[in-house]
Structure 1
Amino acid sequence: MSEPTPLQVRDFIAAGLPCERCEVEGDGRHFFATIVSTAFEGLARVRRHQLVYAALGDRMREQIHALSMKTLTPAEYAADPSAPDKNLHH
């Protein structure tokens, strides 16, 4: 099975989780994602990560070796001074 690209990982996440913004960087095995979703409202970080893992399904075991992520609600993203340029979409 080939290693996924960051774009593919982004698409996998977005297909299974409603995202206002989803950015993924990585080298084919190790990825870092910034995910902004209203689905995270009121959830602890662990539960947010579980939603992302559920969106990735078996790919998390079979194709993606490691995924670090920053999971934010739209309000948290707007207030985050370290967030990437907010004028860009996805």
Structure 2
Amino acid sequence: MEPTPADIERYIASGLACDLVKVDGDGRHFQALIVSAAFEGQSRIARHQQVYQALGDRMRQEIHALSMRTLTPAEYAEHKP
């Protein structure tokens, strides 16, 4: 069974302290907005690695593609969509 956007939100939130997680997608391709203080002082690559770690094996087994926008709370406040 393919995961829903709500499933992906739960997976991320269960493994990473987030202020906001919003995921859209079609069951195979997902777009995520993730806001977390844990991203403070980290490069974009390090932020994405934290999200991949939160997703664990699901990234290889259930999720075909995930594009991410990873922001700190301050960055989100500045660039709120």
TM score, norm. by length of structure 1 = 0.89
* Structure 1 residue 15 corresponds to structure 2 residue 14: yes
Q: CA deviation at 1:61?
A: 0.2
Give the distance between the partners of 1:36 and 1:28, measured in 2 at CA: 22
Of structures 1 and 2, the larger Rg is shown by 1
Map 1:57-68 → 2, pairs under 5 A: 57-68=56-67
Residue identity over aligned pairs, in percent, reads 63
**Count of residue pairs brought into register by the alignment:** 81
More helix by share: 2
Following superposition of structure 1 onto structure 2, how do residues 40-51 of structure 1 map, counting pairs within 5 Å? Answer: 40-51=39-50
Task: Give the TM-score taking structure 2 as reference length.
Answer: 0.98
Is 1:36–2:20 an aligned residue pair? no
Give the C-alpha shift of residue 17 in structure 1: 0.2
Runs of at least 5 residues in structure 1 that lack an aligned partner in the other structure:
84-90
Deviation at 1:20, TM superposition (A): 0.2
